[in-house]
Amino acid sequence: MNKKIGFCISVYDKFEEARILIELIQSYSFVNEIILLRNDNVNQEEFEKYEIQSLCDRVVENSKYRYLSGNKTSNEVSITARIWEAQRTGMLIAAQKNDIVIHTHADGWLLTENFLFEVCKKFEKHNLDFGFRGPGLSYRNNKGELLGKLDDHFYIVASSKIKKSIFLQKEVFELPIDCLNIHGILAFWLTAEFEVSKTWHYDDFTEVLNWMGQKIIVENEIPMLRPLHYTEKQGILHINRRDFINERLAKELQAYYLRTNSTIRPGSYTESFVSKYYRDVELIKKDILSQIGLKLSFIKALGINAELHHNNPLIINNYFIMALKTPWKIIKLNLFKILYPRKKFFNKNSSYPLNFSERMAIFREQIIE
């Protein structure tokens, strides 16, 4: 089981988080190469401050597509183009020196190397080509995820498939990115070039936990992963600091998970980060609830059931802003929930959380004589 793993990390401007992630994974077994993907070269001084380049094997600069603001469709297309261009470029490079390529973002951390042992074992024993997490191919959403939804944190691809991929050779604008986001593109790629029997859907998000330690999935809705989700089995943590009203509280949560769930001796920067920000988790939770308290009371008065989303700071803040700027949208939202209480995220072809293979087995049994 001598698999070599190449890590591709999309960094954006999350340099401190990239530094911590690199210190985590560079000591893990099987990790042969770390490639940092930059979407542009802004904040160069900040980038150099964290001395990331010296810890990586390669930094790939990608400034081919600029970010567009204003028109919503153009904005979404520019975001998808930049994300996918960075990822496909990184995978094509990483495939040259490694057996397996894993992609994640700088704020998506792997706290234990046990998952990498499992990856190598699974890929070798079952001759797998692709591993992924997320709702998967049984999920359908007309807004960007027409063929399914695969998370772009910690998807895993055999280098042999990357090298032969026609899909990865396509320019971004040869894909229908006006109706696909990055999660939809990954589902498109999987269905176009991989046999589902040689893929591994290792996490369907039904067991992920939020910042309060509660399961995120609610009835038949897809889980709201932001601002924080943690999967204990794989040791995967994702925290989007900006989704919290107070970023220091997000850093304190990161420090808490690093101290209590990481299985390796921390690197020098990680150790100083934990020392600076670690605090009792119950006190952190109390402060977050206090931060969102007034906004929570306000949106409850408007008829929005915030408990449905486990007091999510991001959702509460968004609802609060919506109520102040466009109150008619709140009325529309409440009416929609009354009229379509179980169809918020789905089109009629969705069967999530039923697994795709299980779904196809039902059809096979009905169709094959």
pLDDT in tens, 301-315: 877 766 656 578 888
Task: Assign 16 to helix, strand or coil.
Answer: helix
pLDDT in tens, 85-113: 999 999 999 999 999 999 999 999 999 99
Among 122-131, 132-141, 323-332, the least confident range: 323-332
Inter-CA distances, 25 with 88, 198, 239, 263, 344, Å: 21, 26, 17, 11, 38
Contact 119, 151 (CB under 8 A): no
CA 52 and chain centroid, separation: 21
**pLDDT at position 345:** 47
* Alpha-carbon span 226 to 241, nearest angstrom: 9
The pLDDT mean for the chain works out to 86
CA 282 and chain centroid, separation: 26
Q: Does residue 300 have a pLDDT over 90?
A: no
Instruction: Extract the tokens encoding 4.
Output: 């070599």
Domains of the chain: 5-281 (3.90.550.10)
Angle at 282 between CA 281 and CA 287, to 5 degrees: 95
pLDDT in tens, 157-183: 999 999 999 999 998 889 888 889 999
What values do phi and psi take at 66, rounded to 5? -90, 160
